[in-house]
Structure 1
């Protein structure tokens, strides 16, 4: 996803708002589970891999 720059001054609204929503949910997940950032990153990677394999 390196082609996306999540600077809100350069990114279209839907991509920026999606990024913010996902980050907010990750913050909530971290607070609820006390997991490490690395565990959330691994969780997000597993979601991405699932999408690659199975599509949406």
Structure 2
């Protein structure tokens, strides 16, 4: 698999994750459920995971 193809797939994945996170934040700001604390922790963990993957991909 060429590097440019892999980079495109990673960018697509990051765009999908970002849209999910933005949708979740919009939902939480509109109608906050009782799980706001755990969901915030999960979003923070996902953001850290995406950042680690981005660093790992760009170092190659």
Q: So what's the TM-score if we normalise by structure 2? A: 0.42
Larger Cα-atom Rg: 2
Of structures 1 and 2, the one with the larger relative CO (CA 8 A, separation 6+) is: 2
Higher helix share: 2
Q: So what's the TM-score if we normalise by structure 1? A: 0.44
